Amino acid sequence: MKKINIKSEYGKLKKVLLHRPGEETENIAPSTYEKLLFDDAYFLKQAQIEHDYFAKVLRDNGVEVLYLEDLVAETISVSEEIKNDFLEQFVHEAKIDKKSRLFPTVIKYLKSFDDNKELIVKMMAGVRFNELNNDGRKSLSEISTNKLFVLEPLPNLIFTRDPFSTIEHGISLHTMRFETRKRETLFGYFIFKYHPEYKGTTKYYNRTRSSTIEGGDVMILNETTIAVGISQRTEAQSIEKLAEKLFLEGNSSINTIYAFDIPKGRSWMHLDTVFTQIDKNKFSIFNNYKFDVYKITKDKDDMKIESLQKDISEVMEDVFGNEVTLIVCGNGDPLISEREQWNDGSNVLAIAPNTVITYNRNYVTNKALRDKGVNVIEIPSSELSRGRGGPRCMSMPLQREDVE
């Protein structure tokens, strides 16, 4: 099997990328919640217990679990040149000018770490001004600022789904919507450029593009078709750019993209917050709303874009050639549906056909899934759910078995 092999949402999962929540989630406060895209902070010890349980469930079901911090540490260990390049780009993208007096001070601090994994974990967690070793000669930035962090924490890294997407044997490396998440994609950039196993992976989107796209909006339907949400965080023009790359460049088999225009807001940030696939003919959905649907198809050396007068179920029936079942979050009860969607009741991770991982707190939705014959594996979620991302959000599949 190729190092990246993703041709569906529900084929048996073989390898997945996670990030175990760390100190970065404790380096946020009520005053920075909005900026860092959180509504509340985790109790880290319990969040780690829950995340470890998630990883154990994956392993118990035959999935190889990789961690982002390990891959990045392995990448920068390839050579001192790569490590230096990574550190300089990371610090520069934290809005520290390379010609400033502060820049070399921060670089010197980061290079004081002997262990590369320890270094990466610290970069993810954030660095305070008072941690710097400035030899008693502070820059004006250090003296005058009222900020705590010279390198701000990256608490959203737990959602490995978003900075890049795996499509067939390649990736789409994303431009993130909010400033606090933009540096996250630098990890993927270096992994897929330099990591011994993943270097040279085909890229269908570049993190330097001006329009934004995030992985929670990208769904791999089959070998020739994907769906992408037009959402709070993914712009329509980004989908066109992705289509151009998939259709007209490289060796991709993708020839059709369905764009679903969903409401824009915090609880609907990505397509997978309201719609995920369970099996060839089963889907979890917040509600069967009449989203505007657009079909983009390869047309010789160009592409064709058309507006469809169809709902999601009709589109999925066209794609898969069979009648589909939509299992509604909260079993359709308006109050329960809204509550459980807020806690990612619709955000399920298929690890094999008709087998999904869900949050245990969404018990009404989980019962509705079971009533439709779905094998539901629940994981604890009292803390993880505070991040507003479910099992699909917290996982980036790298390999799945192909399905017919």
Active site residue ranges: 393
CA-atom Rg of the chain in angstroms = 21
What is the rounded distance in angstroms from the CA atom of residue 239 to the CA atom of residue 237?
A: 5
Alpha-carbon distance values, 324 to 283, 340, 355, 373 (Å)? 8, 22, 16, 14
What is the rounded distance in angstroms from the CA atom of residue 236 to the CA atom of residue 355?
A: 32
Sheet holding 170-173, edge to edge: 164-167, 170-173, 203-205
What is the rounded distance in angstroms from the CA atom of residue 388 to the CA atom of residue 233?
A: 15
At 173, is the secondary structure helix, strand, or coil? strand
Reported in sequence order, the residue ranges of 181-316 that DSSP labels E, i.e. its strands, are: 203-205, 218-222, 225-230, 256-261, 275-279, 282-285, 292-299, 302-308
Question: Which are the contacts of 400, defined by CB distance < 8 A and separation ≥ 6?
Answer: 5, 6, 7, 8, 11, 12, 13, 14
